[in-house]
C-alpha cells in the first residue's frame, strides 16, 4: 500500500526501494499527480541557483516546475526540497508554512550539502527531532573529502548521482513529517464532521 508520495525524483532514487512510496521520476509526469496525500517535491534546481546563468541544458518548462511544486505543497501539505542558495524560496508566501535549513551530511550524505525545506501542514513546533551534527570526516577512495561541486580546497567533486541522491535517513525524516501532516489532516476532517453533525442535529 502506498503511503507517501515523492515528485521529481531520479530514476534510480532510493525512494523506489521503499514499497510505501509512490515515486514520480522523469518517465512519469508529476504534474498529473492527483492524490490527496501530502507530497515531497524535488523540482529541478539548475534554473533557480546562483549559477543559473550557466545552465545550458534546461528543458522547456523546467523552471516552472518550481512554482508548481510550491503550489502543490500548499494545496496538499508536504515538503519542498531545494539547495539553500535557491531563489525559489523567494517565491513562497511568507505567511504560509515555514522554511528550515539542514545539512544533508548530518543525514548520512557523502558531502556537506546545505539544503532548505519548505514545510506546510504542521507547525514548526511539531517538527520531528533533527539528527545531531555530524562532525566526523568521510573520505572517498582517493583519501579526500567530497564536496558537491569540488570547488572546496582539498576535496574531490561528487558524482552526478552523489550530488542528487536523497540519503535514507533524510527519507526517514520526511516520512515522520508526512505522518504528522496526515494526522493533522485527519483530525481536522474529524472536527469538521463533528461540527457539521452538531449543525444538523
Residue linked to cell 493533522? 184
What pLDDT is attached to residue 158?
83
Give the pLDDT of residue 8.
96
pLDDT in tens, 104-163: 999 999 989 999 999 999 999 999 999 999 888 877 777 788 888 777 887 888 888 888
Q: How many domains does the chain have?
A: 1
Residues 6+ apart with CB under 8 A from 150: 156, 157, 158
Domain holding 98, by residue range, is 4-200
Q: Which residues contact 46 (CB under 8 A, 6 or more apart)?
A: 52, 55, 57, 58, 62
Residues of the chain with pLDDT under 50: 52
pLDDT at residue number 51: 53
pLDDT at 147: 84
Amino acid at each position: 500500500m502506498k503511503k507517501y508520495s515523492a515528485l521529481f525524483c531520479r530514476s534510480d532514487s532510493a525512494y523506489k526501494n521503499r514499497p510505501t512510496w509512490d515515486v514520480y521520476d522523469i518517465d512519469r509526469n508529476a504534474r498529473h499527480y492527483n492524490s490527496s496525500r501530502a507530497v515531497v517535491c524535488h523540482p529541478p534546481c539548475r534554473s533557480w541557483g546562483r549559477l543559473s546563468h550557466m545552465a545550458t541544458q534546461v528543458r522547456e518548462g523546467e523552471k516552472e516546475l518550481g512554482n508548481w511544486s510550491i503550489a502543490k505543497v500548499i494545496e496538499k501539505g508536504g515538503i519542498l526540497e531545494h539547495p539553500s542558495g535557491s531563489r525559489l524560496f523567494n517565491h513562497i508566501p511568507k505567511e504560509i508554512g515555514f522554511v528550515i535549513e539542514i545539512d544533508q551530511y548530518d543525514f548520512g550524505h557523502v558531502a556537506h550539502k546545505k539544503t532548505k525545506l519548505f514545510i506546510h501542514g504542521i507547525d514548526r513546533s511539531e517538527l520531528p527531532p533533527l539528527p545531531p551534527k555530524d562532525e566526523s570526516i568521510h573520505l572517498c577512495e582517493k583519501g579526500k573529502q567530497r564536496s558537491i561541486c569540488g570547488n572546496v580546497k582539498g576535496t574531490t567533486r561528487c558524482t552526478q548521482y552523489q550530488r542528487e541522491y536523497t540519503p535514507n535517513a533524510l527519507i526517514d525524516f520526511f516520512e515522520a513529517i508526512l505522518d504528522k501532516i496526515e494526522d493533522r489532516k485527519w483530525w481536522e476532517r474529524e472536527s469538521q464532521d463533528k461540527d457539521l453533525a452538531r449543525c444538523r442535529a
